[in-house]
Amino acid sequence: MQKEPTVRLTAIRRLYEVSARMGAGRSLAETLQAVVDGVVDGLGFGIAVLNLRHPDGKFEVIAVAGSPEAREALLGTVSAADIFDAEFAIADKWGGLRFVPHERLPEGEVVGWVPDVPVSDDPAAWHPLDALFAPLHSSDGELVGMLAVDLPEDQRRPGPIHRELLEIFATQAGLAIDKARLTDQLLAEKTRLEASETTFRMVFEGAGNGMATIAFDGSEAGRILRVNDAFCRITGYAAAQLIGVPMVDFLRDEEPAQSRRELEELARGNRTYRFERIFTRPGGNEIWLGGTATIVDQGPGLPRILLIQIDDVTARKDAERELRHHAAHDPLTGLPNRRLLQHRFAAVLERTRGSGRPGAVLFCDLNHFKLVNDGYGHEAGDRALREIATRLAAEVRHGDTVARLGGDEFAVLAEDIADEDLATLITRLETAVSRPLPGITIEVSTSIGTAPITPDSTDLDALLHSADQAMYDAKHRRD
């Protein structure tokens, strides 16, 4: 029961790691290489190839990671605009991804470089001629490149979690490439024309993502100087409501110390950094803004300004939060799983050692539940488990944790509980479970065993084992 949450938690960690690496690139070339390096180093693929789409529609391989042979064979190759059309016509659609299984390729036709790896007879194994593509789009939906990945680390066709992870990463990569390309254009223009106001205004106002300049030095430091239309659209404010107002007035900064360090690094010459902050829109609703901030030196004697580029990344943050929830909760009942129970136990144990007041672990096993599955089917059994989980959670004290351990077994973590209160809690739980289940005539009950949490306790598994044994004693007494 724990395998999928564990895989999801690993996926979250990988996503954070590779996103940080990708966001560290300051130029387009650095960003492109960070994308393919992130796929190989963090997303579980042996090879990654990035085709950048040029304004004429042609694709050029700009970055390769994972294989020197692939890099030598592919780097710098230019392909026609329709290079992917034939393959995509026979591809499976995995959300935004496109998977081309080798068995659908026309006989004798092989496009591109093929890794020299053994071929497995397992139909779920990755074949050297299989191809998986992730189209990369800018914030306004323009196709900016194509990411091709090969050789999954487990040598199998990616499952739903890794597909979702790659798709989220591809979304961020497309935005990062678009921003890096725009940043390259802005900085190159500044170098050539000494920040020509006319040129800057054209790029600034025409940008598809939100842009603003903020005073970095002087008496106006921190105040918004200029915004483009996209910035107003994303934030919900008119330009007149933004200009002259300190940017921090709109932000809910959950890590002010980190923000100060970032500004200090900028002042010391670290000229670009990425940020994600909660922004309050009109009416009080909040969104997540993600972007970059770059110091622009306007010349001798003139105050420096911050050029920031922002996008609304609320959807991605919501997806990450959902992944975190799935990693720590039982997918059927929504209760905490064993991993989250262990985390909360560690906190309870620390407080117990400080106060000296004991807590308890309760092990709950359902009686006659197998008859529900046998007589009514597993779908009805799942509904019954969800109902019982709701009842258990409603009967515990505020601050107690109800977790599902698997099957029809539950655990309760109760902090600082006296013996008489523990007896009352057990009675409440037994009574709640024993109430008739909707649409089910079988009488389901629960047997509960307990183990005390004392300052000398060390291991949750040992306590659960003790409570399990106590539960069996209680069950036998019932019988």
DSSP symbols for 417-450: --HHHHHHHHHHHHHHHHSPPTT--S--EEEEEE
Q: Which residues pair with 251 in a beta bridge?
A: 279
Q: Are 99 and 157 in contact (CB under 8 A)?
A: yes
Show me where the domains of the chain are located.
3-181, 196-316, 332-478
Angstrom distances, CA of residue 273 to CA of 27, 169, 393? 12, 19, 44
Residue 49 is predicted with a pLDDT of 92
Highest mean pLDDT among 95-99, 247-251, 317-321: 95-99
Residue 1 is predicted with a pLDDT of 41
pTM: 0.43
What is the per-residue pLDDT across 324-365, written as a single tens digit (0 to 9) for each? 777 778 889 989 988 889 988 999 999 999 888 999 999 999
pLDDT band at 18 (very low <50, low <70, confident <90, very high): low
| 72 SS3 class | helix
pLDDT band at 26 (very low <50, low <70, confident <90, very high): low
Residue 15 is predicted with a pLDDT of 55
Residue 221 is predicted with a pLDDT of 83
Instruction: Evaluate if residue 431 carries a pLDDT over 90.
Output: yes
Same CATH topology for 3-181 and 196-316? yes
Higher pLDDT, 189 or 391: 391
CB-based burial of residue 182 (10 Å sphere; 0-12 exposed, 13-18 middle, 19+ buried)?
buried
Residue 262 is predicted with a pLDDT of 67
Alpha helices by DSSP H, listed for 90-207, are 160-193, 197-206
Q: For 408-434, b where at least 16 C-beta lie within 10 A, e where not — what string?
A: bbbbbbbbbbeeeebeebbebbbebbe
Share of the chain above pLDDT 70, in %: 84
Q: Are 296 and 190 in contact (CB under 8 A)?
A: yes
Q: Is 288 left (phi over 0), alpha (psi -120 to 50) or beta?
A: beta
**C-alpha span between 445 and 443 (Å, rounded):** 7
pLDDT band at 386 (very low <50, low <70, confident <90, very high): very high
CATH code of the domain occupying 196-316: 3.30.450.20
Q: Are 200 and 330 in contact (CB under 8 A)?
A: no
Residues 332-478: name the CATH superfamily. Answer: Reverse transcriptase/Diguanylate cyclase domain (3.30.70.270)
Q: Is residue 365 annotated as a catalytic residue, yes or no?
A: no
Q: Rounded to a whole number, what is the distance in angstroms from the first to the last CA of the chain? A: 29
pLDDT band at 17 (very low <50, low <70, confident <90, very high): low
Instruction: Evaluate if residue 194 carries a pLDDT over 80.
Output: no
pLDDT band at 257 (very low <50, low <70, confident <90, very high): low
Tokens found for residue 34: 């960070």
CATH 3.90.1640.30 is the classification of domain 3-181: no
Instruction: Evaluate if residue 294 carries a pLDDT over 70.
Output: yes
Q: Which is catalytic among the residues 408, 419, 421, 468? A: 408
Residue type for position 452: P
Residue 2 is predicted with a pLDDT of 42
Instruction: Evaluate if residue 131 carries a pLDDT over 80.
Output: yes
